[in-house]
């Protein structure tokens, strides 16, 4: 009997057709709660024929163990492949799949859930009311603000559509320019990240993380940020230097940092973001809805079946 390991907690925690689909294949299915470090995967990975993984540390050593063992495919639940050594996977002939074109609407909704919660003081007001007080804070409109989208791919385009519906002006930076989309929705493509930083009231980070995009917003270009900017990150923590966030908030340049992703997940104890009222954190749930987990889960199973 073929053995499959599932480490994605979203896949495990959400009942639905994706679980029924996997369990109907006649596999021996094992579950571990990720994201798993390489040292956890190394002694066990070779025993399985396939893995449906989340953001586990699938480094070169793990890939080599896959090759030495029975692994036929690494099926990523989700889109980002930055935690998987793709060079090693190609070298050792281990297929790696992901789930593109599935979660963009769900993540775009999360972007605006965070933006609106921040601009309208929803989180602070609820905390005040739950403590039995009645304090009416002053919020802000997003109408008329300029949102700069870094990474105008599938998710970024859905963010843009919703921003336009809210009456925001949209500017974007991406190495690949979709001129037809830009014309259709009146989006200005800017020539650099720095130009976008200087002209955006809100910045939405929606780029994939790779060698070129790591630290897109960093200490060298931090001064280009428009004063009072709100940055929302539903992509990868490594797109912006963590110290830039803290320094920018301290200097009053960054008014708020709203993030669904951290460099280490789960969050480490005593993280420097904790206790900062200008930082809003959700635990990597941007794509974690019943509808979307089922969609992504079924695709990850389908990808698995192509190779097993």
Catalytic residues: 236, 265, 284
Answer yes or no: are the C-beta atoms of 102 and 80 closer than 8 Å: no
Residue 292 backbone class (left: φ over 0; alpha: ψ -120 to 50; beta: rest): alpha
Answer yes or no: are the C-beta atoms of 14 and 41 closer than 8 Å: no
Residue 76 backbone class (left: φ over 0; alpha: ψ -120 to 50; beta: rest): beta
Q: What is d(CA 84, CA 97) in angstroms, rounded to the nearest whole number?
A: 11
Instruction: State the first-to-last Cα distance of the chain, in angstroms, to the nearest integer.
Output: 11
Q: What is d(CA 65, CA 245) in angstroms, rounded to the nearest whole number?
A: 38
| Burial of 218 (C-beta count, 10 Å sphere; 0-12/13-18/19+) | middle
> DSSP class of residue 15?
-
Burial 92-109 (b: 16+ CB within 10 A, else e): bebbbbbbeebbbbbbbb
Q: Is the dihedral of CA 36, 107, 239, 89 positive or negative?
A: positive
> DSSP class of residue 217?
B
């Amino acid at each position: 009997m073929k053995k499959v390991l599932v480490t994605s907690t979203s896949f495990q925690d959400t009942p639905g057709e994706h679980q029924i689909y996997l369990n109907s294949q006649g596999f021996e299915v094992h579950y571990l709660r990720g994201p798993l470090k390489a040292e956890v995967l190394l002694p066990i990975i070779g025993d399985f024929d396939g893995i449906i993984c989340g953001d586990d540390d699938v480094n070169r050593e793990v890939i080599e163990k896959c090759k030495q063992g029975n692994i036929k495919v690494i099926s990523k639940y989700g889109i980002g492949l930055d935690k998987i050594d793709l060079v090693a996977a190609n070298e050792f002939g281990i297929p790696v799949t992901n789930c593109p074109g599935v979660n963009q609407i769900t993540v775009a909704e999360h972007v605006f859930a965070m933006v609106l919660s921040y601009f309208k003081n929803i989180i602070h007001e609820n905390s005040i009311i739950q403590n039995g007080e009645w304090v009416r804070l002053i919020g802000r409109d997003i109408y008329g603000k300029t949102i700069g989208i870094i990474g105008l791919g599938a998710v970024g385009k859905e963010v843009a559509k919703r921003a336009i519906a809210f009456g925001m002006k949209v500017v974007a930076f991406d190495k690949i320019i979709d001129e037809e989309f830009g014309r259709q929705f009146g989006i200005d493509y800017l020539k650099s990240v720095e130009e976008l930083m200087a002209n955006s009231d809100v910045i939405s980070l929606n780029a994939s993380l790779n060698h070129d995009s790591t630290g897109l917003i960093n200490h060298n270009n931090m001064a280009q940020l428009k004063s009072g900017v709100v940055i929302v990150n539903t992509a990868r923590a490594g797109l912006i230097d963590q110290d830039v966030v803290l320094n920018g908030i301290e200097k009053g340049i960054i008014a708020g940092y709203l993030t669904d992703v951290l460099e280490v997940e789960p969050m480490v104890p005593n993280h420097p973001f904790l206790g900062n009222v200008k930082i809003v954190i959700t635990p990597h749930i941007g794509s974690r809805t019943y509808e979307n987990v089922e969609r992504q889960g079924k695709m990850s199973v389908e990808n698995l079946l192509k190779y097993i």
